[in-house]
Amino acid sequence: MHIVLVEPEIPGNTGNIARLCAATGVELHLVRPLGFSTDDRYLKRAGLDYWHLLKLHYHDSFAEVQQAYPDRRFYYNTTKAHKHYAAVAYGQEDMLVFGKETAGLPESLLAANREYCIRIPMIEDARSLNLSNAVAIVVYEALRQNGFVGLK
């Protein structure tokens, strides 16, 4: 399983997601530009004990991710989707894509992939969840569906 963060902005969120990925064996992909330095103390502090377990990849664009993994299914997380995240049958090699905290994923990317857009249900007046919380919700559903392979 893979998490793709497109232009993340907040080091604490990315650090928490890195820790989640390290603890679950999920690979993390960071798409530049990043809103922080990877040497940022808040980023490191969030996952300090886990960095040696993390499978981390950097990409200069989302197109680069797509080119590197042409045979994978990509699921795009957005508040604008009609299908909720638990209505999907996830595979062990799926790419779960999340956008930056302030703007989400680009509308052009969502429009080109409507059938693979998913959302987390919320009350109507809620704008969105914290990025690291949203990633955790979707990742653990995908892992549950796959029998928590490799986890004890």
Residues 6+ apart with CB under 8 A from 104: 78, 79, 80, 128
Strands 56-59 and 2-6: unpaired
120 is known to lie in a ligand binding site: yes
Cβ(44)–Cβ(19) below 8 Å: no
Residues 6+ apart with CB under 8 A from 114: 81
99 is known to lie in a ligand binding site: yes
Number of C-beta neighbours around residue 46 at 10 A: 20
128 is known to lie in a ligand binding site: yes
Residues 6+ apart with CB under 8 A from 16: 46, 47, 132
Show binding-site residues for S-adenosyl-L-methionine: 99, 120, 128
Show binding-site residues: 99, 120, 128
